Amino acid sequence: MLKNLLLTTLLLCSAAASAQSVFEVNLDPAPYNRSEARTQAVELVLDRLTGGQAQNSWVRDEVGRELSRYLQSEPPGSGYNAVFNEAELLAVLQGAELPFSLAPRPTVLVWLSKEGRARSEANRSWRRASNAYQIPLLWPLWDLDEHMTLDTREPFAAQALREASRRYGAEYWLAVEQGTEGGRWQLFGSKQASPLLEGKLESGTDAVTKLMARLNRYWVERHAQRRAPRPANPAPEQPLLAEVDAGGELTIVVSGLRRFADSVLLERKLRQLDGVGSVFVVDSAGSQGRYRLDISGSRAAVLQALTTISGLTVTGEREFSWSGATGD
């Protein structure tokens, strides 16, 4: 009776952990610097959603640069908390043509043998890693039944693990052998005889976090989805015209901005030009956009530099056409 009560409590705690939105981030402990905390939160939420596929994408720079657009709130509480705007984040992932997953991560039963001794609860590193990737973990009680079935010196005996895991009603279980110099791990599923995943456990304080990131990537790969492409922006009924420039400014009109990603990538390339400071979208109409560049040097030099941007073609005085790719 006591074991059943404890098991029910563990399952309820696991279910509560899985109910948190993937768009909610908690960093505890958090960096002292608020800017650094926000950067870490952005990286984590994108990693969760895409399984790491956003790491080398322009999406990270875009979300970090336009944070007020993507960050919905920063609730009070322990550490640093952030809630991201679901609609805006999914729109930028769609623009980058990145797959993502909103599916809740399944509960994983953890059989941990640390330096030859069975562990039946999560320490701080396991709690942080579980929270970071919202993978709810269930820990075995390691009572007499388990000790009669399992040998902590052989934590990867698949059949013995399967029999012990059945008593917890687990769909997935993770066997981990951890030592001072790292270790190894295997992920099992109730419907497969052989491991679904396996790998080495690194040494260091972030070893478990990297393991959870790998499991998260596995779930995303299995349940990835893509939003249907948005219709391409049409040509505007009333074309935009370049405005009269004030001192220290250069206004250009760009056509051919068919997708959201086109505007983002073009802005990035404009900001990278020598002599260009801030870049603003003054207004847009269909597939056209009017950009204002704050410049510190010669207008002629910046205009010349614009002709070197791959995908940008001169079509008139301060008028250009964009044909750049959506990836970068």
Residue type, 319: E
CATH architecture of 249-322: 2-Layer Sandwich (3.30)
**Which residue in the block uniquely carries the two structure tokens 């009669």?**
148
pLDDT in tens, 219-236: 999 988 776 566 677 778
Beta bridge partners, 223, equal none
- Report the Cα 110 to chain-centroid distance in Å: 24
Number of neighbours of residue 223 by Cβ within 10 angstroms: 15
* Burial of 8 from C-beta contacts in 10 A (0-12 / 13-18 / 19+): exposed
Give residue 173's pLDDT.
Answer: 94
C-alpha to C-alpha distance for 66 and 62, rounded to whole angstroms: 6
Strand ranges inside 28-119, DSSP E: 71-73, 80-84, 108-114, 117-119
pLDDT in tens, 146-186: 776 777 666 677 888 888 888 888 899 999 988 888 889 99
Classify the C-alpha dihedral 48-50-54-58 as positive or negative. negative
Give residue 255's pLDDT.
Answer: 92
Give residue 198's pLDDT.
Answer: 93
Give residue 65's pLDDT.
Answer: 85
Residue 99 and residue 179 in contact, taking contact as beta carbons nearer than 8 Å: no
Residue type, 179: G
Segments making up each domain of the chain, as ranges: 20-95, 108-204, 249-322
Number of neighbours of residue 164 by Cβ within 10 angstroms: 22
Whether the upstream peptide bond of residue 29 has omega within 30° of 0, thus cis, is yes
3-state DSSP helix/strand/coil percent for the chain, to nearest 5?
A: 35, 25, 40
Give residue 229's pLDDT.
Answer: 61
Residue type, 138: L
Which residues of the chain are under the pLDDT cut of 50? 1-2, 4-18, 326-328
C-alpha to C-alpha distance for 78 and 132, rounded to whole angstroms: 14
Residue 24 and residue 83 in contact, taking contact as beta carbons nearer than 8 Å: yes
Give residue 265's pLDDT.
Answer: 85
